[in-house]
Amino acid sequence: MKSLFLACLAGLFGLMAVPAAAQFTSVDSPTGPITAGPYIIVDAKTGETLLQSGAGAPWYPASLTKLMTIYIVFQELKTGHLKLQTPVPFSAHAASMPPSKLGMAVGTSVTLEQALESLVANSANDVAVALAELIGGSEPAFAQRMTQTAKQLGMTATTFGNANGLPDPGNLSTARDLALLGVALARDFPQYYGYFRTQDFMLGKRLVGHGVKFVRLYAPYAEGLKTGFICASGFNLVGSATRDGRRLIGVALGFRRGDLRDEFLVRLFDQAYALKTGGARPMVWQLRNDGGQPAVVFSQSECGTIRYDMPGDAVWLGTYGTWAVARQVYDNGETELARMGVAHTGKEYILPVTVNKATRQAAIIADLEPGVAERLCASYRARKQFCEVKKPQDFVAPFTAFWR
């Protein structure tokens, strides 16, 4: 079902834009080069641009749109028009939104505070619409306010067609503009900024949320803010961190995997904090937006399909009848890598392989640094256990080469 939904999202954008190679760049990772879209790191206090690539390129903001929804909610709280305990009711329109969502029934409600927590921890599309209707009277009216607010903040290339970031030709932004929004959230609403740390919360007896993984990866410095994905835009993140009393805002767009995006932003923050610029670099508002059409990260045909999309080598540890068995084999391999003293122990990649209508699960440790896969397989073979090194180009659908 999830794959079908992602493919449908891709279809909505299929005729709207074509890939723009200039909007992508190759960046380093521990296991090899990866493709990134626009990115930027900004000093939240001074506005100085510390690092950037393609920051003015047009982009589909996906669920990063919800940062503007949250900005307006903060405005309403600050003026006293709304309270944290104000009920947020769900209309039929709000309840009809596709996942991610809280799944509230028509006519029910949550508190405004729960709504805020769900936007950060669960990126709930139905909640964003419910808030839009509560504040603006209708989602289109609220989207107009979002666009007007963006202009007031200096986000000169940003428009919004809805409150949640689901595919809509009216949702456009740039890394520059999203960095300005991140700066504005920190500057204008310090009393509410802590909500961006929300990882999960209780809704009645139900635990909601998975949070922003970047917060855990860059602990104790990271503060949030928001992830976003639709097929056209790929995996995106606006993050903030405070280190040695200095807050930075980072934007990373257009990745083909969420984990690679998160890891890249961590490296980018480390690099930015190490810079000694003396305030000599351009301010974020001095950067120009480029105009034109956004690039497309995943085409209609490939979005929602199984892909490797990682630069590093992999080890295949066999193919098994159930996911649970394959996962145990993977865990054993991870333990062996740790015993060998490997710092970067790769990523879980349990690959379903179908042959003659039968499906088995291939146990694979993915995205390993050069030479590590060979060392691990040598250890396995010395014990007469199955292990094969695989390259990224070996992962081609329908993956029958991984049947065993």
- pLDDT tens digit sequence for 317-337: 999 999 999 999 999 999 999
pLDDT of residue 205: 87
pLDDT of residue 21: 54
pLDDT of residue 5: 40
Please report whether residue 308 resides in a domain. Answer: no
Chain centroid to CA 167:
15
CA 104 to CA 375: how far, in whole Å? Answer: 51
Name the token pair of 185. 């959230």
Q: Which residues of 141-167 are buried (b: 16+ CB within 10 A; e: fewer)?
A: ebbbbbbebbeebebebbbbbbbbbbb
Find all residues with CB under 8 Å of 396, minimum gap 6, and list them.
none
Domain end position, chosen among 286, 301, 329: 286
pLDDT of residue 2: 40
Per residue in 242-296, pLDDT (tens digit) is 999 999 999 999 999 999 999 999 999 999 999 999 889 999 999 999 988 999 9
Residues 129 and 230 in one domain: yes
Residues 164 and 280 in one domain: yes
pLDDT of residue 34: 95
Q: Which residues of the chain register pLDDT less than 70?
A: 1-22
Question: The whole model's pTM is what?
Answer: 0.91
Helices (H) and strands (E) in the chain, counts: 11, 15
pLDDT of residue 300: 84
Residue 388 main-chain phi, psi, to 5 deg: -130, 140
The single-letter code of the amino acid at 259 is: D
CA 25 to CA 4: how far, in whole Å? Answer: 29
Give the domain range for residue 261: 2-286
Residues 202 and 351 in one domain: no
In 153-296, which ranges are continuous DSSP H helix?
Answer: 175-188, 213-217, 258-274
CA 112 to CA 118: how far, in whole Å? Answer: 10
Residues 246 and 318 in one domain: no
Please report whether residue 299 resides in a domain. Answer: no
Please report whether residue 73 resides in a domain. Answer: yes
Domain count, the chain: 2
Residue recorded with tokens 């428009």: 159
Nearest by Cα to 128 from 158, 148, 101: 101
CA 398 to CA 355: how far, in whole Å? Answer: 9
Residues 273 and 207 in one domain: yes
